């Protein structure tokens, strides 16, 4: 849909409300709303009026003519008082003047369409809005600010160069080219492929950071799982009772550990049960444990029997109720949620572990499944490009890798390749 769009860009109830307007004809619309136009990018105090001349509010007007605006279109901002009545009156006036409410994401969609954002930056903005922790904010800001796009831009340039060189090899296939030319081509493809594989590894950590880490607490009934979860979370999340089997289902709470979002999951006590509901709770507990990023295996005196961990998942053995006169196993961290003994150590261990799990290194790290799929497609195409010997087939695989780049950030066009071909290899002379 085209036309002039508007939307509030601030929450309801504040002293000031920001209303954004974008589209061809915005200047004429705001002139009808506010009278004379201010200079571009200069704040001006104006009375905002309905089409019949009624003053609706007095506020600040800013205008940003195309193409130097967020959307790349003529764009304006109204800073008005934050009451519902004011916002409603301004919205009604804008509709009467020919604007319409924006659809979800439409401002950023227009910015993308006008070359102000690529897909990665647009997705970064969405993640920045949803960020709950400091580490999530930094990851999203890197992407929204173009840091990821710039890193991937280097891959794009390398791929364009490879496509140009391959085109030249096809063009000169009837000539005896030195074997070093083919070797150099394969080495360059391998270098690019290795960089993308490294980014895939970093992307796994970034995805964990974006989605959050699942720490699952497993143990037999009455070993203090719920008490421990409440102590770590700092609030009464789970019901604590001396009655075995009180926890029948998994209970999750969101917490922040070192800037990393964590879902701490209390589970039903692991034991054989003839009670259908409790047995289902035990099944769900094991299922959560099998999907966890990290496990806390809980034991308690007097026998300190900890459950067996699912394969492939890192664990920490925790011996609860250390205030009781029993010696815990040497390989377990002794804690007491009642006295607080060992709790600070436990939380520091958890912080360090979740930070390791979300450490994405210094290279590009893409947290969304769509982005990871594009990277995997690039790696697969480059692997095939190194495996084939026919120049035409290799060129086709390089084109498939280029298509994956296009899906990731934007469009890679034939003109990019032709520029490289003509400048580097002088084809057509």
Chain segment 234-277, per-residue pLDDT in tens:
866 544 445 455 455 678 889 899 889 999 999 888 888 778 88
116 marked as part of a ligand binding site: yes
- Asked if residue 265 lies in contact with residue 217, where contact means CB atoms within 8 angstroms, the answer is yes
**Range picked from 29-38, 160-169, 270-279 for highest mean pLDDT:** 29-38
So what's the pLDDT on residue 175?
60
So what's the pLDDT on residue 427?
31
C-alpha distances in angstroms, 307 versus 270, 295, 310, 315? 8, 11, 9, 11
**Strand ranges for 171-324 from DSSP E:** 213-219, 251-257, 260-266, 294-299, 315-319
The domains located in the chain, with CATH, are 5-113 (3.30.1360.120), 134-208+365-425 (1.20.120.430), 212-357 (3.40.50.300)
Which residues, 6+ apart, have CB-to-CB distance to 361 below 8 Å? 198, 202, 205
321 marked as part of a ligand binding site: no
266 marked as part of a ligand binding site: yes
Q: Which is more confidently placed, 14 or 56? A: 56
Provide the 10 A C-beta neighbour count for residue 262.
26
Query: Which token pair is 45?
Result: 């105090």
246 marked as part of a ligand binding site: yes
322 marked as part of a ligand binding site: no
The share of the chain scoring above pLDDT 70, in percent, equals 89
225 marked as part of a ligand binding site: yes
Query: Which token pair is 119?
Result: 């897909």
- Asked if residue 207 lies in contact with residue 369, where contact means CB atoms within 8 angstroms, the answer is yes
315 marked as part of a ligand binding site: no
77 marked as part of a ligand binding site: yes
267 marked as part of a ligand binding site: yes
Tokens 């304006």, residue located: 76
149 marked as part of a ligand binding site: no
Confidence of residue 178 (pLDDT cuts 50, 70, 90): low
289 marked as part of a ligand binding site: no
pLDDT tens-digit map of 102-142: 988 888 888 888 988 888 888 888 888 888 888 888 888 88
Helices (H), 103-178: 106-113, 119-130, 134-144, 147-171
Q: Please determine, for residue 418, whether its predicted confidence score (pLDDT) is greater than 60.
A: no
pLDDT tens-digit map of 301-323: 998 988 888 888 999 999 999 99
429 marked as part of a ligand binding site: yes
């Amino acid at each position: 849909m085209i036309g002039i769009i508007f939307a509030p860009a601030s929450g309801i109830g504040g002293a000031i409300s920001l209303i954004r307007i974008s589209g061809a004809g915005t200047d004429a619309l705001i002139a009808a709303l506010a009278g004379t136009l201010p200079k571009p990018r200069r704040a001006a105090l104006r009375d905002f009026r309905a089409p019949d001349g009624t003053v609706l509010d007095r506020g600040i007007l800013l205008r940003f003519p195309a193409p130097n605006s967020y959307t790349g279109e003529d764009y304006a901002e109204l800073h008005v008082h934050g009451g519902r009545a004011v916002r409603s009156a301004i919205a009604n006036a804008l509709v009467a003047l020919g604007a319409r409410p924006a659809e979800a994401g439409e401002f950023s969609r227009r910015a993308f369409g006008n070359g102000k954002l690529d897909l990665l930056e647009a997705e970064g903005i969405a993640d920045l809005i949803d960020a709950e922790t400091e580490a999530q904010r930094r990851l999203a800001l890197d992407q929204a600010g173009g840091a990821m796009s710039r890193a991937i831009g280097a891959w794009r340039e390398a791929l364009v160069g490879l496509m140009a060189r391959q085109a030249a090899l096809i063009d000169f296939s009837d000539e005896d080219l030195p074997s070093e030319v083919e070797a150099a081509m394969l080495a360059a493809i391998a270098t690019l492929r290795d960089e993308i594989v490294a980014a895939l590894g970093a992307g796994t950590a970034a995805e964990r950071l974006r989605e959050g880490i699942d720490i699952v607490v497993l143990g037999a009934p009455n070993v203090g799982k719920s008490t421990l979860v409440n102590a770590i979370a700092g609030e009464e999340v789970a019901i604590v009772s001396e009655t075995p089997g009180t926890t029948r289902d998994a209970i999750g709470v969101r917490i922040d550990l070192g800037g990393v979002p964590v879902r701490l999951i209390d589970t039903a006590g692991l034991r054989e049960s003839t009670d259908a509901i409790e047995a289902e709770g035990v099944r769900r507990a094991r299922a959560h444990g099998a999907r966890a990023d990290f496990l806390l295996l809980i034991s308690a005196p007097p026998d300190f029997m900890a459950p067996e961990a699912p394969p492939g998942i890192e664990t920490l053995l925790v011996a609860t109720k250390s205030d009781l006169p029993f010696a815990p196993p040497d390989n377990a961290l002794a804690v007491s949620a009642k006295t607080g003994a060992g709790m600070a150590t436990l939380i520091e261990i958890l912080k360090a572990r979740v930070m390791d799990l979300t450490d994405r290194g210094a290279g590009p790290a893409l947290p969304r499944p769509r982005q990871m799929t594009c990277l995997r497609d690039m790696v697969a195409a480059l692997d095939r490009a190194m495996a084939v010997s026919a120049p035409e087939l290799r060129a086709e695989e390089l084109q498939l890798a280029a298509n994956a780049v296009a899906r990731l950030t934007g469009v890679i066009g034939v003109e990019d390749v032709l520029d490289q071909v003509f400048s580097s290899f002088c084809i057509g002379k």
